[in-house]
């Protein structure tokens, strides 16, 4: 976008003047590496003079030692990636700001998530930051990659407009917190767990919590990245789980199909509904689509030679209605403004709905982002339970050099302090990520396979970042347990917590006598 390019050209000089020469050098590298075009308006040449973007040195992300993940708390943006020098690098974003800022839209106005590999694969719906175009001008259209409720039930908190209001928010005063990202737990390069709570945005007893677990591949050129998304909702009416993709998706594994087309105009809809269990949606970002360039000429296919592919398997609801829709005809704003974006507009909407109303609906979906030249179908993903309390998936290894993955979530909006047990059937190295536990716990892990058993201990993770509600709400620390094991056929795992949480030091002994 033009405004972003303006800022990228002026920032190096500003950063250098305030002593952030490394950051200035990194920005110069990004301008050159990605051939960021100079703003086309003549009066903007003064920006380049003031910015002097090429007057300093250049520094790559590796030289800068840029971390592979970060959480910008006040902006409400979490980002993680597998690297910085390969088109195959996986990218995972979560947008969930607690604050709303007056002015141009940012992460606070586009909650949800995004995935990329060889170009963007999933994001919130957009044409430009002001919402140009008619992408959401049809029946059933949504804008964000979030859960929607049939009755709305939304409430509004205050927007930050002045320095005084910003200071109030910093002090925990005023009604500025809308809810958002609450906790990030990670083991860099292995897993990233992000918990989001949007319940403060709703009335009438409606609640919504979401947990993400991103599992990046070790070698971006050959490995897939996996994202597991678990949602807990409570509402008196139907909940709808939504995400958007730029390219036309395909559906597999459904029992029946319905035509959802309402017409061919700029406010009509095209698409289909797929009904069944374990429905899989596939999107290929080199497919192209209707003409995208200015005036409708040319075709944008993800940056030329893009070959990323995205699968999404719906585990919950067990019997789902998966709707794939798009506006029937793009208006001029969609086509005209497409060339101003670094990404293709997210035209296709995927909506997952239960076939019957459940006031305590759970959603569980698994994404696989891969190289379409290497992967043609989604790897096997099985539903996994630990009794009725824990819900998750077993992702089978995609090759003999890759691990299996176990991801489990607690079904309730609280923390599980009980024994957990589950069965797996597979082979090879297995990474286990168990969420929804009490923090600072040691677990005894017993593994039984073929009449043989082994026992070892593991502690819940310590690399935890949390949002501070400053007394306006509670935010208990969620424990996440990570460990690895080898599978050789049918195996039972039993996880037993040791002792109780005790952060209080022992009292000083009194009344002792030595004889």
Is 447 found in the same domain as 316? no
513 located within any domain? no
Domain holding 477: CATH number? 2.60.40.2750
Is 169 found in the same domain as 28? no
Is 262 found in the same domain as 135? yes
419 located within any domain? yes
Cα–Cα dist 303/295, whole Å? 19
Of 175, 195, 174, 176, the residue nearest 184 (C-alpha)? 195
Is 431 found in the same domain as 285? no
506 located within any domain? no
pTM of the model: 0.91
Cα–Cα dist 106/416, whole Å? 35
Cα–Cα dist 61/79, whole Å? 15
Domain holding 163: CATH number? 2.70.98.70
Cα–Cα dist 63/170, whole Å? 34
Q: Which residues of the chain have pLDDT under 50?
A: 293-304, 342, 500-503
511 located within any domain? no
The pLDDT of residue 86 is: 87
The pLDDT of residue 28 is: 85
Is 122 found in the same domain as 17? no
Residue 68, Cα to own-chain centre: how many angstroms?
15
Is 317 found in the same domain as 397? no
The pLDDT of residue 183 is: 98
* Residue indicated by tokens 């009509």: 268
509 located within any domain? no
CB neighbours (10 Å) of residue 64?
14
Give all strands (DSSP E) within 158-206, no chain letters. 180-187, 191-197
Is 99 found in the same domain as 36? no
The pLDDT of residue 291 is: 52
In angstroms, the Cα distances linking 79 to 74, 76, 150, 245, 342 are 14, 10, 30, 19, 18
Domain holding 49, by residue range, is: 1-66
pLDDT tens digits for range 142-201? 999 999 999 899 888 888 888 899 899 888 888 999 999 999 999 999 999 999 999 999
81 located within any domain? yes
Q: Where does a domain end: 320, 344, 377?
A: 377
Is 390 found in the same domain as 336? no
Is 242 found in the same domain as 173? yes
State how many domains the chain has.
3
CB distance 365 to 112 below 8 Å: no
Is 95 found in the same domain as 43? no
Q: Which helix (H) or strand (E) holds 161?
A: none
507 located within any domain? no
Q: Where does a domain end: 38, 66, 94?
A: 66
């Amino acid at each position: 976008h033009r405004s972003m390019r303006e800022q990228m050209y002026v920032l190096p000089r500003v950063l250098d003047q305030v002593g952030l020469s490394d950051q200035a050098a990194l920005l110069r590298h990004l301008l050159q590496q990605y051939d960021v075009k100079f703003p086309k308006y003549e009066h903007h040449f003064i920006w380049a003079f003031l910015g002097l973007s090429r007057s300093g040195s250049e520094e790559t992300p590796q030289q800068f030692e840029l971390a592979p993940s970060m959480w910008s708390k006040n902006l409400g943006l979490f980002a993680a990636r597998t690297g910085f020098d390969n088109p195959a690098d996986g990218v995972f974003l979560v947008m969930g700001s607690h604050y709303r800022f007056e002015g141009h839209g940012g992460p606070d106005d586009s909650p949800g998530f995004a995935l990329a590999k060889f170009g963007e694969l999933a994001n919130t719906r957009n044409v430009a930051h002001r919402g140009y175009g008619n992408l959401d001008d049809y029946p059933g259209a949504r804008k964000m990659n979030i859960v929607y409720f049939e009755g709305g039930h939304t409430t509004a908190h205050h927007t930050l407009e002045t320095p005084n209001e910003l200071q109030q928010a910093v002090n925990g005063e005023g009604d500025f917190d809308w809810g958002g990202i609450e906790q990030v737990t990670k083991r860099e390069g292995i897993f990233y767990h992000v918990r989001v709570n949007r319940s403060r945005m709703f009335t009438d007893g409606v609640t919504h919590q979401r947990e993400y677990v991103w599992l990046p591949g070790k070698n971006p050129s050959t490995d897939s990245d996996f994202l597991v998304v678990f949602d807990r909702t409570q509402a008196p009416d139907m909940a709808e789980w939504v995400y958007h993709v730029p390219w036309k998706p395909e559906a597999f594994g459904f029992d029946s199909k319905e035509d959802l087309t309402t017409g061919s105009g700029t406010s009509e809809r095209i698409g289909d509904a797929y009904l069944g269990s374990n429905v899989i949606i596939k999107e290929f970002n080199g497919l192209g689509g209707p003409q995208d360039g200015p005036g409708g000429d040319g075709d944008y296919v993800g940056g030329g030679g893009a070959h990323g592919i995205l699968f999404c398997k719906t585990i919950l609801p067990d019997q789902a209605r998966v709707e794939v829709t798009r506006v029937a005809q793009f208006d001029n704003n969609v086509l005209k403004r497409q060339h101003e974006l670094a990404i293709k507009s997210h035209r296709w909407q995927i909506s997952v709905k239960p076939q019957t109303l459940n006031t305590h609906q759970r959603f569980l979906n698994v994404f696989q982002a891969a190289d379409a030249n290497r992967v043609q179908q989604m790897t096997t993903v099985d539903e996994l339970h630990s009794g009725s309390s824990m819900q998750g998936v077993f992702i089978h290894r995609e090759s003999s050099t890759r691990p299996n993955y176990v991801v489990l979530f607690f079904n309730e909006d609280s923390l599980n302090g009980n024994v957990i047990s589950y069965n797996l059937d597979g082979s090879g190295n297995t990474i286990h990520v168990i969420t929804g536990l009490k923090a600072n716990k040691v677990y005894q892990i017993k593994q039984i396979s073929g009449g043989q058993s082994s026992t070892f201990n593991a502690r819940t993770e310590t690399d935890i970042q949390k949002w501070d509600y400053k007394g306006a709400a509670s935010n208990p620390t969620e424990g996440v347990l990570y460990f690895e094991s080898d599978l050789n056929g049918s195996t039972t795992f039993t996880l037993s917590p040791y002792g109780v949480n005790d952060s209080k030091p022992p009292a000083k002994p009194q009344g002792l006598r030595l004889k």
